[in-house]
Structure formats: C-alpha cells, structure tokens
Structure 1
C-alpha cells in the first residue's frame, strides 16, 4: 500500500504506530458539519473558516484536481450533516497523509463539475462542497471509522421530485440524499460485486444492494424510471497505479474484503468512492455467450452496433467483431449493422462511401468461418447523419446469399423515401434498399432507417435497420433535477412515429406482411419511444419474452439496460429471441453493445 493504512467496514482509518495519538481539537467556531449543513449547499459558501479540525482520510496526489479529504471524528447528532470535506489544492500535491490530524483554514466553495459549454448555473450536475485557497497544519495523528455500507444502508427510493438544492436532506428516505449526507466521508463496502466493468479511465461500478435489479449474470438491470438501482456506486482508486494497478474487472467479479475511502461526486456517474483501500479482485468467471444455430426453416435476423467501425481500424477490431458474427451469433442470415463509418473513418474529407469498410468486415467474417456475406446500404449525405465528425456513420445490411435473397429495386438514395407498394397480392418496396422519410425533421443530424426487401423460402420479409439519436444531452440520473429531463427523447419519439407509420403503411397494403424492426433505438423497453412502436400490438418487442431483469444489451454507470431491440409484426410469427452477451459486461470489449438475434419460422 505504501501508507501503512487499513480501512474496513467498522474499523479504524489510521496511519503510523498502533498507539494512536488523540485528535488535536482547535477552539474553532466552525466544524465540518457546520460547513456541510443540512442541505446540498453549504450555509457558509463564500465565507472564510479557520482552524477546522479533522483527520485526513484520503489524498488525491495525481491529476489536475488534487487535494485531500478530512473528517471530524466527533460527529454531531444530525444525520443530515456530513462530517467529511474535500480540500482542493489544484495541481499541487498536498503534503499530508492518511491518519494526519489537521486543522484547516480556507474559503468554503461549491464546485460544480461541468461539461464543455456548461456553466455552474445551467448544469444539471450536483455540486461538491469544498475548501479552496486553503492552509493547514498537521497537529498529530488520529483516526476515524469508515461507515459500513450494507444492503440496508441506502434507501430503496432514489430521489424526491423537484430541484434537490431547494430542500433539506432526508437520508433515511432517498438514496441521493443518503449519499449527499455522506459527501466527503469515509465509507466502506465489503465483498462488493461488480455491476459495471472497468472502463478506459480506471473506474468500475459496484453495488451495496446485491439483490437490487439482480440479473443472472451478476449485473443490476434498469427496469423502470422509478428504480435506477440506488445501490450502484462508482469506484476509483487513490492508490498510485505504479503501486497497485487498477483491476480489469468484469460484471459479476468481486472486490473481496473492504473497499473504502472518501465519497466524492463527479459528473461522470455521480457519487464515487475514492478508494484509499481497494478490495482484492476476484474474477467471477463470466463467459461470453454463443447462440444456437438456426434450423433450416428458421430465418435468423440479428442486429449489432459495431461502434464506429472504419476501414482504417486495426485488423484486430475487424477480427473480433467478425468472430462475434460467425461464432457467437452463429452466422445469422441477415445482420442489421449500426455505426458503420465511411472509408476514411473520422477524417473529415468529404468521403461518404463505405465499401472498403464493409469489404474488410465481410472478408474478416469469411476468414472466421462465416459465410461470404453480401451487403446493401445507402451512402448518407456528407455530415448529415450525426455521430463522430467525419465518420458519416450509417446502418447497413449483411446477408448470406446462400440462405436468403435480396430483392434489389433501383432508385434508393440518401434523399428518396421508400414507399410500400402493392405487388401480386402482397406488398413490396418502391426502392430496395430505401430510406424511411429521409426529409422528415425527425432525422436531422441522425441516422435514417434503412429498409430492405428479402426473400426466405419463397416468402418476402421486410427488415428495417435503425439507429435512433443518442441520449447525449439528457440530464443525469444522479443530477440535482429530479426526475431528470430526457430532452433527447422528443426526437426519438418523432423517429419512432416515422418508423411506426411506415410499418402501418406496409401492413395496410398487406396485413400479413412479415416485418422485422431491428437496431440501436437508444432507449429502454419501458420508454415512450419503444411503446410508440409497440402500441396496439402493431409490433412486438421480442425481449418481452424474457424476464425484465434479463432484458439488456448495454451497461452504463453500473446499470444493465436495453438500448438495442428487435421488434416483429404479428404476421412474422413467434420470435425465438436471444441477447448474446459478448461485450457490454466485459472490461475488454469489441463494441460497447451486445448483439441480439431472432429466429423466425419460414
């Protein structure tokens, strides 16, 4: 560890010899709980405080936001007032150690972590109460106890409604109030189960409530806006990585023993345990899934977000995604791809063609033992479909010509809308492939759905590939406005209405039309967006056949959640559906999404 310190649930945070000197108590007018107050904002914000006593419980000695946390070992009796506080020292490493008894003077401030372009006034993030322009004196050695987080500690209810800064805390009733009442304090969670894998920034997510939203693979599933799984807690490390590398953990792994340190807040996930002591990583043995082969008379349709796949990507990315198609997905007959970039990737050079990207991908699939897929897609207008600037992401179809045929109908381009037409007593497409209502304002700066007409065992099947606009810009679950405003949802609802209208038009021409709507809808199965598509039974979400806790394809901030969907028309028959978990739960990912597949009887 390098600091001769130990932290565990209910045990002493200390430094130095086993004989611990008492904390030196200054005759100060203010203590930490006076600074923190009974709400989210300090009643002393903007004022100078002097000789505030406490014990150092954590030191952030790297990065651009250095400083230390200290905690009063003599708490008051008010459960709303935190006894911990962060002392901000900027890029200067503070010369203190865990276990130092200190007195600190400085200016009380509310720091709001903001995104680019945000101001503290307009951000939805909560603030962190801290001392800045601080001076301190080490007066001896001391100790505090890390408060144990048990399954009963954090309330089940997540947050009250309204602007949280305008009300006093109720830590016995709401999870966000509970965490705020412990801001800056040393907390400990024992034998914590990982519910969000290690990310690129050396952070992971654990839960203090193991049964909350529990799914079969060890995660916590987000099943309702009313229950965002308040037991989730982000974990970062205060231990220099040279001393102890951060664990590469998957969902279902454990941090054995105690993981403990002061509680901070970040715009990236909200409340975060800054671990001065990190539990021992114990792998849970989670395995990547492989679905079954389709039968001869089953049409297998899959969807896979391949996360900005570009022709200039490393071969390793192509190979891993190809193995997912040929192996884990058992070579579907049709694959709806999302996030296929143009031939020059993120280079913003006016190129929109993606034939090189798709050729490399289909070559890799064949090399992995899959079929020699053909593809169909429509190049977007340059810069018109959102995503990474210059990348021109789009949706595309892969299909196995040995199993299905694609009914090409000329005329489809970036701006020509596809229409259902009558054809020989059934329905057909005016153009194939074609785009749904591309001039509709719903698709501004967003991917346009691609429709293809396929034939399988003599029957036409219409597949719609989708990638709705992202949830970027929505207020966070952990923010100061509750419930959070989901501003991006308005555009997705308009997109869902356009796709639903097309499906309704197709069924009006032929009420037995076999339709598959697949892709990254960027919203949950319980959202208004998906409900727009499934209203009145026009389309059926195949995931409805699974228990709610097993409906997920993505893991975000420790919540397993469903962003990808496959929906089918009633005439398509019973869908044998499978989410194939190969990415989202793992620290090592080929994509941040899991693919999924349906098998329909021909």
Structure 2
C-alpha cells in the first residue's frame, strides 16, 4: 500500500482527535445544548398578577409565574385546578401572593408541595383572579409554604385571595342549609350570627366581617360523599385551607380535615317550664295528606314526615299545641296527625278542634289538646277579618274540673316572600322584608281580637323577628313575649335564614296571665339541624334518616308553663 503524504497524515490525525473528544463528551458542545422547561424563568411575580385592587391589572395577558402548590383540586368534579403560592412574597400587604390555575385535569402529576412554573392567561373570572387557560406547568422541584394566620372579623379578604390560611380562633357553625347540596357551611367568629331585626345591637356589616364560607373543594351538587355534619352552634378551631372565590363569596377550601366540636349538643327534651299546664306552638312544615303538593311527594316520604312530627309532639308532651302549616282540607290532615300521635302515646290522649273558618289558603292553623287535662269553654272561633289570609283560630280552655280559663289564639301571619314591586308592602330596605305593613295590620287586628277574651295567649309563626314592627305593635298593646322574658338571649331563636338566627315564632300573653307564667323554652330540634336530615328522599342519603324529632320541621317549637289555680290534674 502506498504511504500517505506527511501533510495528509497530520490532517487525519487532527480530525480523529477532534471526533474522539466529541464522542467521549457524549454531546454536542454546551453552547449548542437546548434549554430545559425549568430554565425558562417566570416573567411575573404572583403579586403582580393579583395587583392591589379587586381585579388583576394584567387581564388578558399571558404570564409565567413561579410558586409552590398549596391545594390540589384538579378533578372534574372538584375545582378543575390547583392553587399555587409565591414562597418569596413581595412584602406588600395589599397584594395577594396566591393564585389559582384553572388547569382541569391536564397536569395530573402536579401535587401539593411541588415547585412549579406555570404559564397561562391572567383573567378575572366572576371576581376570582386566576390563570385560564393554563398552557404549561413545569414541575421544578419541591417547596413548602406555611399557612398564613388569619382571624375574623376581617375588613376584607381580597389581599389573601388564593392564599393558604389557618384560623387559630374557634369559629361557630351559623348555617348549613346547603351542606348536602353544595357542601357549604357558614362559619362565624364570636359565636353565631343573629338577625339584626331580632334584637338590639346587631350590626349587619359586622355580621359580614365575622362570616366565612367553608366549601368542600367540589363543584358537584348533592355529592355522594358528604363533608362532616354539624349542628349550628358547633365549633371548629384551627381551620386550614386555601381561599378561593365563587358565586359572590370568598370560599375556604379545606386542605386539612375539618373536626367540629359539639358545642351545641342535641337537647333530648325541652327545658323544664314548670306549672300545671303546658302550651306549645309548632310549625309542621307543610303536613299534607295530599301527596305531591306542598308536603311529601310520595307515600314513603309521607310516612317519614309523619314519624318525625309524631316524635316531636311526643317530646313536647304539651297539654295544648297550636299548629301551623297543616293542609287546609277540613279535618283530614289534622286528624291523621292526631291519630298517629295517639297510636304512640295512647288512644284518646289528644283531640283536634275543627277550624270554623280556615280561609282559602292551601294551609291552615290547627289546635290539638289533651281532653284529660283541658276542657274547651265554648266552641272554636275564628277571625273573619279579610286582613288575614290564614284566619287565626281562637279557643278558651279550663283545666278539667274548673279553674281559671285561658284563651289560645293560634296564628300564621303573612310571610316575607312573594314581594310586591311597590307600595307599602314592598321591601322597604329596613331589614323587615316584604309585607311588613300587612303584618302590622294583622297585629292590630289581633289586639282587637284579644279584647274581652279571658287571659289571651297569642302564639304561632308571626313571620316577624323580635324587634320588628308587628311584635312592637303587640307589645305596645299590652302583650308580653314570654320567650323574651324567660329564654336567655343566646337561646332565643326558632329559625335560621341565610345564616342568621332569630325568633319568627312567638308566644305573647296578657298582663293577668303573665303572672301565671312559670317558664318558657324553645326546643332546638330543627333550626340547628342540617336539612339533609329531614324526611325528603330526593337527595338525602338514606342512611341519614332517623324517625326522631330532629329536623322534623324548619322551625323550632315553643312551650310555656302556666300555673293556673283550680281544677285538677
């Protein structure tokens, strides 16, 4: 073989050495290496996306931010995204350091504790600052963010939107109306919330600042798996979660288990009221024997409803009970209730009165009593004043064997719903709701009705809270609320509406009978209980139902004790 020239040998050696070095390095030169996803840095801080105001100042812009994942709710039946928080906050108390990434379940590998770089468009979604759509999520290690200590009352929560928070103070369950449907509970600092028109000294603005909505991190309605159940008045301490927003309210999505303390245990019986006669008031929440109307939709629900009502009446064990929301079908619905109670407590224990003029409304008031304890004096009477859409029922009683008489006037005044657009019955913005003018006229008519009656006791669902005009009218006319006199303020409520407790149900007595009142109580078996425990079968998990008094209605029953001279029993 012919030898190569020296110059050619030198070039070949040089090429061989270069190729060997390159292969040994295993890669192209570093200056030509492509960058990894985590090498593309954030171009905005989270606080810049949040801004100092209620809305993001970068709306519509695509941004890249860095943070640590604090809450993972990516499933479609959850929030379809995750929360991230900047571990190096900007130090401005007016800007939030948290953000929500609406990522659906596209980035399933993301989990709490991941350090991520997220690319997406900054938007304001119905008041919630978030990234949507998210186009890239790069996991670049791990990190941790300590929850920020937060307390109520709060002047505003915008500055901690999407931030991981912990509430060291005890918070009280004030509302759980949507616990079963949406997994929501309203919590409040400083005890439960009360209606501003129910008692003096309640500030509506402070109620708002004291409140926090606890959600379940889910978008599903009527979820099969429920959050923990609690009674209104129960408490939770050390609550921890991320603060989202939706449907006009800040919502804490828990990141740790929620453990309630039973600060308001179920009362097995009403408090003792003394006396030798017990009188009660009870709204039955549409006890209908006609199926598919206002009450039960089928026979199974009707039996469930009836069992709960019977348990409540047994627990009250009153000598006379004024009833509201009984179907206006003569004595049919009322007698069916009496028969069911007597089947439990003994034949003939209770008897029902026939309402002489029940009106044309779908519901009527009713009255049942124990013939062994009380004897009607005269026939039942009713007001025919057209101001009443549900005419009051009037009956005088004496204890069996004689003695001092008293007169029950059973009422269900005009409700606050179905508001007119204008006129004196429109909502005046004073907290008393609609139809207040009509309820005042009804209260005035009741005062006229009591004139000449022996020892009147006006009772029932008056659809007015304790400091509203109708109650003031009755009190100015010489009647006294026995619950205001005998029930502590913290326990004086019979109904909860939109998280605010108050007394819609009342018992007011004349001056002479007031001397005979030995005590009064409100039996909290309904207003404090989640509605998911009621008789309905449409959405309530079947395992929760019990044939007991709890959530037999949405109103708590009232009871008063009277010490009446004469008679026996």
The unaligned stretches of length 5 or more in structure 1 are 1-22, 112-126, 156-174, 216-220, 343-351, 386-391, 410-430, 475-483
Preserved CA contact (<8 Å) 2:359 2:391: no
Tell me how far 1:185 sits from its aligned partner.
1.6
Separation in 2, partners of 1:314, 1:463: 28
Tell me how far 1:194 sits from its aligned partner.
4.6
Distance 1:292 1:54, change over 3 A: closer
Separation in 1, partners of 2:457, 2:479: 9
Match for 2:371 among 401, 408, 415? 401
Q: Which has the higher helix share?
A: 2
Tell me how far 1:105 sits from its aligned partner.
1.2
Find out whether 1:85 has 2:71 as its counterpart.
no
Find out whether 1:249 has 2:190 as its counterpart.
no
Tell me how far 1:93 sits from its aligned partner.
6.8
Separation in 2, partners of 1:531, 1:93: 60
Q: Map 1:297-376 to 2 at 5 A.
A: 297-298=276-277, 300-311=278-289, 312=299, 313-327=301-315, 329=316, 331-340=317-326, 342=327, 353=329, 355-369=331-345, 371-376=349-354
- SS of the residue 1:224 aligns to: coil
- SS of the residue 2:279 aligns to: strand
Q: Map 1:104-503 to 2 at 5 A.
A: 104-111=119-126, 127-140=127-140, 141-149=142-150, 153-155=151-153, 175=154, 177-190=155-168, 192=170, 194-196=172-174, 199-201=179-181, 203=183, 205=185, 207=187, 209=189, 211-212=190-191, 224-226=202-204, 227-228=206-207, 230-238=209-217, 246-251=227-232, 253-255=234-236, 258-267=238-247, 270-281=249-260, 283=262, 286-291=265-270, 297-298=276-277, 300-311=278-289, 312=299, 313-327=301-315, 329=316, 331-340=317-326, 342=327, 353=329, 355-369=331-345, 371-377=349-355, 381=360, 385=361, 392-406=362-376, 432-434=381-383, 436-438=385-387, 448-456=390-398, 457=403, 459=405, 461-470=407-416, 486=429, 489-503=432-446
Match for 1:74 among 67, 77, 88? 88
Distance 1:496 1:261, change over 3 A: same
**Bigger Rg, which one:** 2
Residue of structure 1 in register with 2:65 after alignment: 52
Preserved CA contact (<8 Å) 1:55 1:142: yes
Question: Structure 2 length normalisation: TM-score?
Answer: 0.70
- SS of the residue 2:329 aligns to: coil
Preserved CA contact (<8 Å) 1:506 1:513: no
Preserved CA contact (<8 Å) 2:243 2:252: yes
Tell me how far 1:302 sits from its aligned partner.
1.6
- What is the CA deviation profile of residues 22-65 of structure 1, one whole-angstrom value per residue up to 9, with x for unaligned ones? x9994424x433343334344445x3341133333223324385
Preserved CA contact (<8 Å) 2:56 2:122: no
How many residues matched?
469
Question: Structure 1 length normalisation: TM-score?
Answer: 0.67
Tell me how far 1:108 sits from its aligned partner.
1.0
Separation in 2, partners of 1:195, 1:139: 38
Separation in 1, partners of 2:72, 2:183: 17
- SS of the residue 2:160 aligns to: coil
Q: Map 1:522-601 to 2 at 5 A.
A: 522-534=463-475, 536-545=476-485, 546-556=487-497, 558-574=499-515, 575=517, 576-587=519-530, 588=533, 589-601=551-563
> Over the residues paired in the alignment, what is the CA RMSD in angstroms?
3.9
Tell me how far 1:229 sits from its aligned partner.
7.0
Distance 1:303 1:94, change over 3 A: farther
